[in-house]
Structure 1
Amino acid sequence: MARRIAITGLGAVSAIGLGAKANWDAAREGRSGIAPHRFEGGQHAPEPVTLPAALTADGFAAGLEARFGRKVSGTLDRFALLGLAAAYEAIEQAGLVDHAALDQRTAIVLGHGQGGQETLEKSYERFFGLKSQRMHPATVPKIMVSGGVSAVAMQFGVHGPTFATSSACASSAHAIVQGAGLIQTGLADVAIVGGSEAIATPGCMAGWMAIQALADATCRPFSKDRDGMVMADGGAALILEDYEHARARGAEILAEYLGAGMTSDAFHITQPSLEGTSGAMRQAIANGGLAEADEVLISAHGTGTPLNDKNEAASIRAVFGERARRHPVIATKSAHGHLIGGSAALQAVIALQALKAGLAPPVLNFNEPDPECDVDVVVGQARPIKARHALVNAFAFGGLNVSMAFSA
């Protein structure tokens, strides 16, 4: 039999809160972290632009360094610091700081869409704009996508399997599934999983503007007047643990990872496919052992783009049929924005707390139902739910789909 996977720690840092509980409180209360931000490059950049975004307050780094008792930000890009902050909180909640378990039997898998974009843009400004050959000696380590997992490993003395996943918006979902797989195959007893992102930068925002993916004012998942996504930064982490290992050391078991589905559309670089997204959900339901009668909280990918939300709603109807409207749908990107590589992990952290509380947080900025999104979208205020299971969806550009099943 496959080893059961307990969840013993949660961590999160985003525009709506520093800490997993703070993120849940904000989501439950309908508080948004989206606001206008001025994106301004160096002296050789185009004119600044003001766009909606959801950016984490800079104070998180000071808090992180206070915990470690030393400066760690000098050699880490913002994306890695965000991942490290979330991982520290999750490790601390799990009671694993300075624990013997954090050694060769622990794995780290974190997901990031692009890595050190902030460092990359500053380096390009210096090299191409200022014509300078002199780079910061930490430039390469700060840019590499694996910089975050290496930082966590070094800070906590983890010697087990450690690597990063990068699959655009599905990155942290793939990381969670890979971490669970390492435990189920016996290569680890504990896995620190999740992801982070910090690509709301002037150059990167220009790229998203070029494909007309950004909202004019805010993120409105499933609302008829939705017009795009809102970029964000932040990070989230979960501690996965062999169930018996967690019980043996007396850890509090917060929830359980049940299984997942993963598919590839093999169709289009930006347009979703009904077959791919619904296929991932069906696999997650089957692999997670969810019964047909179970009420399920669906944490939608819910980007607020016209195509994604229409396709995801169609996928929910295709999977559940006449029972589709029995399953409440939430879309927390309406509050914390789209963390790209870190979004799925943050959705999971919020969804698990929603199950524990018996409340589904509201989808914000919802103005008008869309007949093409005929699912039970939770709007207005948090709604009491009976669901003990959740599906967390992550559907990435390139047609890379993950759906994960949890219980609490």
Structure 2
Amino acid sequence: MKRVVITGQGAICALGHSADAVMGAMREGQCGIGPIDIRDVDRLSIKIGGQVKGFNPEDHYTRQQIGLYDRFTQFALLAAKEAIDQSGLTFDGELALKAGVVVGTAGGGLSTSDDNFRTVYEEGKNRVHPFVVPRLMNNAATSHISMTHNLMGPSFTVATACASSNHAMGQAYQMVRSGQTPVMITGGSESMLCFGGIKAWEGLRVMSKDACRPFSANRNGMVQGEGAGIFVFEEYEHAKARGAEILAEVIGFAMTADASDIVMPSKQGAARAISGAVKDAGLNPEEVGYINAHGTGTAANDKTECAAVVDVFGHHADELLISSTKSMHGHLIGGTGAIELLACVMALKDGVVAPTVNYEEQDPECALDVVPNEAREAKIDVAISNAFAFGGLNAVLALRAA
């Protein structure tokens, strides 16, 4: 089996328009959640989100490209360019034929769907833009990254709700590890902060109207976010041979299904995914120093996740640092695991653990070290990133310091 390393990363979300900006905001414990600015916001009960502000598509894309790219694709392309530029890779010849793309998204081009439903049902028009289907299809971001960067190897899209990014990155990891390809571009992207996207989530009654407070006893729900995180996963010897900077090493992955309930999480399913990733990495549980939690800020998720962590790590759970960066950037649904992997890379590379902000009082059922409100310096050798999705589909990645 080959070793797999990360040689590039890119991001855009409510915390910033680059990976460095996002990680800098995490270090400062900044919160990017605030009032959202969308059409018909007055008709919504939920009026906050982790919205990307100050992003103008015209600054990055031509008019023709904007006609082809939904907002989630725009985010993915921006993050992919940053990651590939940092990696220093150029895709031509044999490498272009083998390198591919796996991107996770839950909603795909939801803004395009929302806009065109309005056109047909509200405005009564009988024609829509001819590129509606290419814009809204879930694989649009993957396809445009592939075409932009000449990536002709294995490429596809993963849609597993809130675990989409972790599943995508896990598949990319396995393909590089198996020797199928030396390089994969991978991560996730989401843009659900449109009227229909928020209204749909309102129906679940799991949303907070004021803040995301994971693990805090007075938490009252999740907050949506948007954005993209994209990484370059590269075979270690390939990266070493060209003198690439290695940001971190991906060392394990596991995925499980709860097979129990469409919306309620399962401690057993989560625990099997966590322990599976630890085992796949060849680790003892005591070697893990940091967990980037799924940590949505709902009572069901937070309590279940903490119970699963205790089940897997036993007494070591008290020594672990575990934080939820969703408190800062919101829940990016299909894109969330990719932004959260940045926090793992930051912990491993820079020795800075991102905090759980908005934390106010301890919940006895979540009595772990959740790095409340302020980032913490710590030497972390191994980190894991959790993702537990609606539908009971779980995906966990394990990383080691380079």
TM range (shorter): over 0.9
Counterpart residue number, 2:156: 163
Question: Which residue identity lines up with residue 84 of structure 1 in the other structure?
Answer: L
**Aligned counterparts, 1:146-157, within 5 A:** 146-157=139-150
Q: What SS does the aligned partner of 1:257 have?
A: strand
Post-superposition offset of 1:246: 0.8
| Separation (CA, whole Å) in 2 of partners of 1:159 and 1:242 | 17
CA–CA separation in structure 2 for the residues paired with 1:293 and 1:28: 25
Aligned residue for 1:37?
36
Give the equivalent residue in structure 2 for 1:200.
193
Q: Are positions 1:59 and 2:52 aligned together? A: no
| Aligned positions of 1:258-273 closer than 5 A | 258-273=251-266
State the 1:383 CA deviation.
Answer: 1.2
Q: Secondary structure at the match of 1:393?
A: strand
Q: Deviations over 1:152-182 (max 9, x none)?
A: 0111111111110000000010000111111
For normalisation by structure 2, the TM-score amounts to 0.96
Q: CA deviation at 1:99?
A: 5.5
3-state secondary structure, aligned to 2:47: strand
Match of 1:3 in 2: 2
Q: Give the Cα–Cα distance (whole angstroms) in 1 for the partners of residues 228 and 90 of structure 2.
A: 19
CA contact (8 A) 1:40 1:47 kept: no
Check conservation: 2:9, 2:230, Cα contact below 8 A.
yes
- For 1:51, the aligned partner's letter is K
Partner of 1:296: 289
How far apart, CA to CA, are the structure 1 residues paired with 2:173 and 2:94?
Answer: 16
Matched-pair contact (CA < 8 Å) for 2:248–2:348: no
Query: Aligned residue for 1:20?
Result: 19
CA distance in 1, matches of 2:163, 2:56: 25
From 274, 294, 299, the counterpart of 1:281: 274
Identify which range, 50-59 or 313-322, moves more after superposition.
50-59
CA distance in 1, matches of 2:234, 2:63: 29
Give the match's secondary structure for 1:103. helix
User: Aligned partner of 2:122: which letter?
Assistant: G
Q: Distance in 1 between matches of 2:373 and 2:80?
A: 32
- CA distance in structure 1 between the aligned counterparts of 2:208 and 2:42, rounded to whole angstroms: 21
For 2:78 and 2:392, locate their aligned partners in 1 and report how far apart those are by CA, in whole Å: 30
CA deviation profile, 1:6-43 (whole Å, cap 9, x unmatched): 110011100001111110010110111000225434xx
SS in 1 for 2:383: strand
Map of 2:208 onto structure 1:
215
Contact 2:104–2:168 (CA<8 Å) still a contact in 1?
yes
Question: Contact 2:358 / 2:373 at 8 angstroms: preserved in 1?
Answer: no
* 334, 349, 352: which one aligns with 2:345: 352
Cross-structure match for 1:172: 165
User: Quick check: 1:38–1:48 contact (8 Å CA) kept in 2?
Assistant: no
Q: 1:285 to 1:238 in 2, by over 3 A?
A: same
Q: Which runs of 5+ in 2 are unaligned?
A: none
Question: For the Cα contact (< 8 Å) 1:225–1:367, is it kept in 2?
Answer: yes
C-alpha change, 1:332 and 1:46, in structure 2 (3 Å) is: closer
Change (3 A) 1:50 1:239: same
State the Cα deviation string for residues 357-388 of structure 1 (Å, max 9, x = none): 11112110000000011211101311121221
What is the CA deviation profile of residues 128-168 of structure 1, one whole-angstrom value per residue up to 9, with x for unaligned ones? 12221211111000010000011001111111111100000
Cα distance in 2, alignment partners of residues 210 and 48 from structure 1:
11
- Distance apart, 1:290 and its partner CA: 1.9
**Conserved? CA contact 1:79–1:198, under 8 Å:** yes
> 1:292 and 1:119, CA in 2 relative to 1: closer, same or farther beyond 3 A?
closer
**Higher mean C-alpha displacement, 48-57 vs 143-152:** 48-57
Question: What letter corresponds to residue 157 of structure 1 in structure 2?
Answer: N
Q: How far is 1:101 from its partner?
A: 6.3
Amino acid across the alignment from 1:153: S
Alpha carbons 2:100, 2:185 under 8 Å: kept: yes
Cα offsets for 1:245-292 (capped at 9, x unmatched) = 111122111110001110000111110001100000000101112234
* CA contact 2:222–2:297 (8 Å) conserved in 1: yes
Percent identity between matched residues is 39
Partner of 1:135 in structure 2? 128
Contact 1:117 1:143 in 2 (8 A): yes
The one of 195, 219, 224 aligned to 1:231: 224
Deviation at 1:347, TM superposition (A): 0.5
Paired AA for residue 291 in structure 2 = I
Residues 177-192 of structure 1 mapped to structure 2, 5 A cutoff: 177-192=170-185
SS of 1:22's partner is: helix
Q: 1:70 to 1:106 in 2, by over 3 A?
A: farther
TM-score, normalised via structure 1 length: 0.95
Verify: 1:243 aligned to 2:236, yes or no.
Answer: yes
Q: Within 2, Cα distance between the matches of 1:91 and 1:71?
A: 23
Q: Does 1:365 align with 2:361?
A: no
CA contact (8 A) 1:18 1:60 kept: no
SS in 1 for 2:307: helix
Q: Deviations over 1:292-328 (max 9, x none)?
A: 4324210000000110000000011001111101110
Q: Compared with structure 1, are the counterparts of its residues 203 and 138 closer, same or farther at alpha carbon in structure 2 (3 Å cutoff)? A: same
Query: For residue 308 of structure 2, what is the aligned residue in structure 1?
Result: 315
Distance 1:100 1:211 in 2: 49
CA distance in 2, matches of 1:60, 1:19: 14
SS at match of 1:104: helix
